[in-house]
Amino acid sequence: MANEKRVRHILSLSGGKDSAALAIYLRDRVPEMEYIFSDTRKELPETYEYLERISSYLGKEVTRLNADVGFDHWYEMYGGMIPSNHRRWCTRALKLKPFEQHCGNDEVINYVGLRADEERSGYISHKPNIKAVYPFKEDGLILRDIEEILRSSGVGMPPYTKWGRTRSGCYFCFYQQKIEWVRLKEAHPDLFEKAKEYEKPYDKTGNFFTWSQGESLAELEQPQRVEAIKREHVIRIQRKAARRENITLAEVFASAEVAEEPEDDDDQGCLVCQL
């Protein structure tokens, strides 16, 4: 009908495995899909590489939002305050707002890659013209299915998982586990150094905010501390293996699901940045 309102279908890629698998899963079911990526300009190099790979599989461009301003612009606007789970200005400024601006007042169906086997919550748009849908949840797809979609398509897992990073998002994301900081230093020492540079007294109060809970990166990178973090990680893996039947320790280490296990209850990751 001539005056029927057009509905846009938008899938936001995060650089993570779940949104990548969802794009593959829906490619032929929703051919009019628009793919977007909100670029904080602080992503891992592997994320940009992965987006290229996904785009070439989809045969479509991935539109980059935030082309003009990235994390540092907003970091300055917030007076040099490192974001955290309780001061999470970054997701709002760098992910949600650009997405909502991109949608405008159009009717939008927003496809979200939350799986049937997870109970994450997080920042999604609540604008009345944007309706979130969860195809993996609706179709009962779990981690094993997502891994199979990525494997059989040839797109594969995000390349940063090879060195033990489990989440997409900024290289300095505060949701990282301590073991991931250690691995970041090993895989990308230059990025670790850059992350360290943000840890300085906050202009307004003189408070010293850190990316990782309870310690600065300068403390975390000390050899004895690194050894302790590695030891604690192995113990956590062993505990998890002991809780699960019919699974060898090697399988536990190989399982992406294990790597996603948070270090504490506050470490649930971000629904917008890390799907």
Given the rule CB under 6 A, which residues bind ligand SF4?
Answer: 40, 83, 90-91, 94-95, 169-170, 173-175, 270, 273
Which residue has the CB atom at the shortest distance from ligand SF4? Answer: 169
Residue 117 CB, nearest distance to ligand SF4 (Å)? 22
Nearer to ligand SF4, 111 or 198 (CB): 198
| Least Å from the CB of residue 221 to ligand SF4 | 19
For ligand SF4, the closer CB: 155 or 272: 272
CA 257 to chain centre: 14
H or E segment and range at residue 193:
helix 189-197
Helix count and strand count (H, E) for the chain: 13, 5
DSSP state of 5: P
Q: How far is the CB of 123 from ligand SF4 (least distance, A)?
A: 9
Query: Of the two residues 10 and 173, which places its CB atom closer to ligand SF4 in the complex?
Result: 173
Nearer to ligand SF4, 173 or 184 (CB): 173
Minimal distance in Å, beta carbon 275 to ligand SF4? 11
For ligand SF4, the closer of residues 184 and 237 by Cβ is 184
DSSP 83: P
The closest alpha carbon to 124, from 242, 23, 274, 247, belongs to 274
Strands 62-65 and 107-111, bridge-based pairing = unpaired
Task: Quote the distance between the C-alpha of residue 238 and its chain's center.
Answer: 26
3-state secondary structure of 62: strand
Question: In the complex, what is the shortest distance from the CB of residue 188 to ligand SF4, in angstroms, rounded to a whole number?
Answer: 15
